[in-house]
């Protein structure tokens, strides 16, 4: 007898191979838009070139704004440190950036018509912020918010605010110097911001008001807090501490100038006066760092309690 016929086994149709979902479109959509960034950056430089040229010239000639050269360099360095996160996060532009760009253009127009340099210079920061928001969206803007904010320190204060700040600082520094010099036995007579010593008259002018060290120290406190303390509250504490430290340091500088002028009048002018200013500023910076260490100790004790 022959073998029984085999019953054929019915099998289902083979499953179609799953088509992989392509993410090329999404990746391209979220990639960094290098070409638009280059175009917008070039257009901003062209539009604001006269403003930026005058700003750099003031950095070079105004002793109060000598730190201006370091501000964009530090901001760019912070961006470089965050480059990996900026390159990997999605760049989803926002049309709100167009409103900021329009605001910056309008502010530049008003500042140009009114010959107001502060409006012209801050318009560049507004336009730069608008470019970031338009090309990258709110998430990218938040990531770049701190270096963009630092750019404010490269713009000199408007004249009306500058005079309102410097004159009280001049009077305070001269009053402290009068009290300190009298306490150590050096005869002095103060008339406003002018100190009359036995050897000469010392005038506490705007350059000696302390505004230079106040602006520079405030900028450095923000950068120092960014690199050395992640706590937001401590950053605000350091920022607040710069004001009394800078004011007291400058008053001490005026006092030391009065003491040195009694030894040799040349010590109150020229090279010696400049070196003295740098030494006092470094002392103020050291005081800020020391204050941070003490604040950390106090913070730690309260945290443990």
- Segment 129-173, tens digit of pLDDT: 999 999 999 999 999 999 999 999 999 988 888 888 888 888 888
Q: Which residue has the higher pLDDT, 50 or 210?
A: 50
Residue 23, pLDDT score: 47
Cα–Cα distance measured from residue 32 to residue 90, given in angstroms and rounded to the nearest whole number = 8
Mean pLDDT score of the chain: 85
| Nearest-5° Cα angle at 232, 227 to 236 | 95
- Read off the pTM: 0.82
Query: What are the domain boundaries of the chain?
Result: 32-156, 160-295
CA proximity to 153, closest of 69, 242, 81, 209: 69
Residue 291, pLDDT score: 94
Residue 126, pLDDT score: 97
List CB contacts of 144: < 8 A, sequence separation 6 or more: 79, 82, 86, 132, 136
Please report which helix (H) or strand (E) contains residue 149, including its range.
Answer: helix 145-150
Residue 140, pLDDT score: 95
């Amino acid at each position: 007898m022959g073998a029984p016929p085999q019953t054929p086994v019915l099998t289902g149709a083979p499953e179609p191979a799953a088509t992989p979902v392509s993410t090329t479109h999404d990746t391209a959509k979220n990639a960094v838009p290098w070409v638009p960034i280059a175009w917008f950056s070039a257009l901003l430089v062209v539009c604001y070139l006269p403003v930026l040229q005058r700003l750099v010239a003031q950095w070079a000639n105004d002793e109060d704004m000598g730190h201006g050269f370091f501000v964009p360099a530090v901001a760019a360095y912070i961006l470089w440190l965050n480059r990996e996160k900026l390159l990997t996060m999605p760049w989803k532009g926002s049309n709100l950036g167009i409103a900021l760009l329009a605001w910056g253009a309008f502010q530049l127009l008003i500042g140009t018509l009114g010959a107001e340099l502060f409006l012209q210079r801050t318009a560049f920061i507004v336009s730069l912020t608008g470019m970031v928001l338009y090309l990258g969206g709110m998430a990218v803007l938040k990531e770049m918010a701190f270096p963009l904010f630092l750019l404010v320190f490269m713009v000199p204060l408007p004249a009306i605010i500058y005079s309102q700040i410097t004159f009280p600082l001049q009077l305070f520094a001269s009053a402290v110097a009068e009290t300190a010099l009298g306490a150590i036995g050096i005869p002095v007579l103060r008339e406003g911001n002018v100190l009359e010593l036995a050897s000469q008259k010392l005038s506490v002018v705007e350059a000696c008001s302390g505004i230079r060290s106040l602006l520079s120290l405030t900028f450095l406190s923000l950068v120092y807090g960014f690199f050395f303390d992640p706590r937001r509250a401590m950053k605000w504490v350091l920022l607040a501490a710069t004001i009394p430290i800078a004011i007291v340091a400058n008053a001490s500088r005026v006092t030391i100038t009065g003491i040195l002028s009694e030894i040799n009048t040349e010590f109150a002018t020229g090279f010696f006066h400049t070196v003295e200013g740098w030494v006092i500023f470094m002392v103020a910076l050291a005081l800020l760092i020391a204050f941070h260490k003490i604040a950390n100790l106090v913070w730690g004790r309260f945290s443990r309690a």
